[in-house]
């Protein structure tokens, strides 16, 4: 399976490239964490210098990068200056929440959009198809931020869902089941916003690729041999149509992740978003790099999964360049 090997190698190379760029850009960004301290007359330049060297910030960029990579390979992502604690536990406590949000939004998006896209394509020109076309053009044309704020306003006005945080204040007293329910209610709004922003594009892509495959000669041929419509759709059409859709999976993951960072800030979800925003504003160097690297690894991993899923679905890729005909 040299295909998988190549994809994995590519993913690793990509991770290094991202980390290098990340270092370079944070270096190029103006200001540093200690700039505010400099304005404070009570802290002497010597103290600042000592602090800088204690965090290793007086070293040249290449050395810092090499050190960081070496440490990161041992799962040590450095030290947060602002929180005065290692980056990894800090990041992980927030990343869990972002993962929960992103993965549930991703699952929901695909669970809704694939059947909907297939249905719309199968009944082309029917009411489902028209509704999907209308709804998706509406969602695509409205800026995501507007959707998020509008939904937030509706939810606050009607008091249907709790807003802010991921648990109710008194949740410690709940039973396990009640805790899960409470979490789900808090999760509902940010997930809804994310799904709504992402789903329109994916439904359209699924519909288009299913339609294309439905018109293929081999589907007509299978129909001419008496294969039923349901079997035709799910056994003959969907595996072929899945190819472009799966490629889209990685893309949608990127969209959801970057979307969730914003939605978290809007909805007060204690994920990476608010943390990263804060860290960026205060120039908390290693926290920013750690956060970005986490997001990047998540996306690279997601794309890797999509690539591997492609082989499972499409035998033509398994053969890619394997032999000369």
Partner 1 sequence: MGGNLPNMPTYSPTYSSGGGSSESLLRVTGLCKRYTRGSLWRKRVAVAAVVSADFGISRGQTLALVGESGSGKSTVARCVARIERPDAGQILMQGADIAQLAAAALLPFRCRIQMVFQDAVTSMNPRFSALEVIEEPMRIRRETVHDRRDRARALMIEVGLSPDWMHRSISNFSGGQRQRIALARALTMRPQLLVLDEALTGLDVSTQAQIANLLIDLQAAHRLTYLLISHDLALVARLADLIGVMAEGRIVEAGPAQQIVSDPEHPATKKLLASAKAAAGKLTRITGASL
Partner 2 sequence: MVGPRDLLRIRDLAVMYSAEEGVPIRAVDGVSLEICAEEIVGILGESGCGKSTLAGALLQLLAPRAKCEGEILFRGRDLLNLSAAELRSVRGRDIALIPQDPALSLNPVMTAGSLIGEVLRAHLPLGAERRRERVMGLLREVGFDRPEEIYSAYTHQLSGGQRQRIAIAQAVACRPALLVADEPTSKLDATLQSEVVALLSQIRQQHGTTILIISHDPALFAGFADRIAVMYAGRIVEVGKSVEILGRPLHPYTQALMRIATSSVATGARANMRLPAIAGESPNPGCILEGCRFEPRCPERMQVCSQRYPQAFLPEPTRPVNCFKYGG
Buried b (16+ CB within 10 A) or exposed e, 240-266: bbbbbbbbbbbbbbbbbbebbbbbbbb
The residue behind tokens 């799962």 is 75
Residue among 2 and 137 whose Cβ is closer to partner 1: 2
Residue among 9 and 180 whose Cβ is closer to partner 1: 9
Which among 2-10, 55-63, 207-215, 255-263 is the span making contact with partner 1, rule CB under 8 A? 2-10
Residue among 159 and 325 whose Cβ is closer to partner 2: 325
Helix (H) or strand (E) holding 80: strand 79-80
Residue among 146 and 322 whose Cβ is closer to partner 1: 322
Rule CB under 8 A: is residue 28 a binding residue for partner 1?
Answer: no
Please, are residues 78 and 90 in contact by the beta-carbon 8 Å criterion? no
Buried b (16+ CB within 10 A) or exposed e, 160-183: ebbbeebebeeeeeeeeeeeeebb
Rule CB under 8 A: is residue 324 a binding residue for partner 1?
Answer: yes
Among 151, 147, 152, 182, which residue's Cα sits nearest to residue 167?
A: 182
Residue among 172 and 323 whose Cβ is closer to partner 2: 323
Contact positions toward partner 2, by CB under 8 A? 216-228, 231, 235-236, 239-240, 313-316, 319
Distance separating alpha carbons of residues 273 and 270, to the nearest angstrom: 8
Rule CB under 8 A: is residue 281 a binding residue for partner 1?
Answer: no
Rule CB under 8 A: is residue 9 a binding residue for partner 1?
Answer: yes
Please, are residues 190 and 98 in contact by the beta-carbon 8 Å criterion? no
Residue of the chain from 4, 6, 145, 160 that contacts partner 1 (CB under 8 A) = 6
Rule CB under 8 A: is residue 2 a binding residue for partner 1?
Answer: yes
The residue behind tokens 């109710």 is 168
Minimum CB distance to partner 1, residue 323 (Å): 8
Minimum CB distance to partner 1, residue 9 (Å): 8
Residue among 282 and 303 whose Cβ is closer to partner 1: 303
Q: Which residues bind partner 1 (CB under 8 A)?
A: 2, 5-6, 9, 321, 324
């Amino acid at each position: 399976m040299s295909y998988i090997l190549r994809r994995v190698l590519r993913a690793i190379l990509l991770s290094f490239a991202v980390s290098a760029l990340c270092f370079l850009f944070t270096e190029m960004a103006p200001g540093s964490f200690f700039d505010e301290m400099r304005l404070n007359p009570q802290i002497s330049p010597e103290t600042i210098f000592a602090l800088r060297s204690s965090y290793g910030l007086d070293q040249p960029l290449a050395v810092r990068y090499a050190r960081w990579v070496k440490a990161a390979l041992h799962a040590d992502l450095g030290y947060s200056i602002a929180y005065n604690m290692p980056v990894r536990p800090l990041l992980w406590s927030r990343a869990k929440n972002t993962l929960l949000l992103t993965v549930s939004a991703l699952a929901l998006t695909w669970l809704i959009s694939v059947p909907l896209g297939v249905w719309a394509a199968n009944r082309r020109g029917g009411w489902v198809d028209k509704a999907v076309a209308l709804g998706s053009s509406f969602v695509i044309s409205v800026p995501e931020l507007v959707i998020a704020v509008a939904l937030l306003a509706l939810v606050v006005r009607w008091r249907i869902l709790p807003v802010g945080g991921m648990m109710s204040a008194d949740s410690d007293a709940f039973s396990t089941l009640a805790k899960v329910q409470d979490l789900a209610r808090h999760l509902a709004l940010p997930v809804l916003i994310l799904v709504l922003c992402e789903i329109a594009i994916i439904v359209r892509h699924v519909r288009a690729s299913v339609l294309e495959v439905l018109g293929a000669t081999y589907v007509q041929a299978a129909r001419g041999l008496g294969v039923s419509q349901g079997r035709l759709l799910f056994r003959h059409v969907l595996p072929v149509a899945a190819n472009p859709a799966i490629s889209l999976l990685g893309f949608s993951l990127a969209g959801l992740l970057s979307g969730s960072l914003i939605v978290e800030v809007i909805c007060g979800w204690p994920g990476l978003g608010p943390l990263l925003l804060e860290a960026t504003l205060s120039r908390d160097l290693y926290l920013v790099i750690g956060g970005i690297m986490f997001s990047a690894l998540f996306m690279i991993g997601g794309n890797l999964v999509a690539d591997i899923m492609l082989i499972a679905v499409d035998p033509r890729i398994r053969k890619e360049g394997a032999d000369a005909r």
